[in-house]
Amino acid sequence: MANTIDIRRRIRSVKNTQQITKAMKMVAAAKLRRAQERMFAARPYAAALREVLSSIATRVEEFEHPLLRAHEPERNVLLVVVTADKGLAGAFNSNVIRAATNAIREKNWQSMQIVPIGRKANDFFKRRTIPIRREAVHTIQALSLKTAQEIAKTLIDDFITEKVDGVYVAYNEFKSIIAQRVRLERLLPIERAWDEVGTEVDYLYEPAPHVILSELLPKHIEFQLYRILLESAAAEQGARMTAMEAATKNASDMIAHLTLTYNRIRQASITKEIIEIVSGAAAQEG
């Protein structure tokens, strides 16, 4: 009887867990929809900003800006690691952290600092010897352009003052609800590989083109970081939704298995009692 009591208790516990995973899946689906809307809404602005940068760059000859200047070799590097504040999202956080640690090991940077965005990255690198330049916990939960601008300003200041020779970002890129791709991108210096734009139509600029380009380059960095955070936020909810769906299915399989085991034990117990009753009746008749 103790076995059946334990199994009934386990079935009840798994059913309670299944209700939680179902609720978390629905919450993640709602958050994913909002995150996707923000991410898709930002893409036209990103395309327009890049088009303006490309158009102006083709009209400015031998333009030099601190954000375009490469520091060779890259000895001091700032690595931004974007994770979530919470777990229960499958391998979402561990994949980014693994990519960051692999880059640190393979690149052989002489000196580096970490900017962990998200509590999971912050907790991981706090236990390591790599110095943390700035903590950004709960950034994804209250994500805004202002937050991205504040972080980007720190990165830009460190690069312009030559405290660092390069800035890289490790994050999860949103591909679909069930797929996220870990990316390691160089944020600074800005690559000059802009798309060439035809100059058939020229414009009158006020102020001068190089002044406009100087104003747009920091905004370009700010928005690129904002786009990366939006990608990570959408990828997080997609990963959590997929993980909770798998957990709900596993709970259903476990409930079916435990129910079958419970019925077998109960059937064996009933059969044993019937045999004992029949044997006792036969003994009395004899």
* pLDDT digit string, tens, across residues 221-234: 888 899 999 999 99
CATH class of 28-241: alpha beta
Pick the CATH number of 2-24+243-281 from 1.10.287.80, 3.30.420.40, 1.10.1040.10, 3.40.50.10800: 1.10.287.80
Of all helices (H) and strands (E), which one includes residue 185? strand 179-188
CA dihedral 270, 275, 281, 286 (to 10 degrees): 180
Mean pLDDT of 26-30: 92
At residue 89, what are phi and psi to the nearest 5 degrees?
A: -130, 35
* pLDDT digit string, tens, across residues 203-214: 666 677 777 778
For residue 274, the model assigns a pLDDT of 82
More reliable by pLDDT, 208 or 196: 208
Mean pLDDT of 90-113: 88
Mean pLDDT of 239-264: 92
Query: Hey, is 174 helix, strand or coil?
Result: strand
For residue 143, the model assigns a pLDDT of 83
Please indicate whether the domains covering 2-24+243-281 and 28-241 agree at the CATH topology level.
no
Query: Hey, is 126 helix, strand or coil?
Result: helix
This prediction has a pTM of: 0.82
Does residue 58 carry a pLDDT above 70? no
For residue 251, the model assigns a pLDDT of 93
* Band (194; pLDDT cuts 50, 70, 90): low
For residue 202, the model assigns a pLDDT of 63
For residue 168, the model assigns a pLDDT of 93
Q: Given strand 76-82, what is the order of strands in its sheet?
A: 111-117, 76-82, 166-176, 179-188
Mean pLDDT of 71-98: 89
* pLDDT digit string, tens, across residues 150-168: 899 999 998 888 888 889 9
Mean pLDDT of 102-107: 87
Alpha-helical (H) ranges within the chain are 2-57, 92-107, 119-126, 145-160, 209-285
Integer Cα distance of 241 and 158 in angstroms: 37
For residue 272, the model assigns a pLDDT of 80
Domain spans, the chain = 2-24+243-281, 28-241
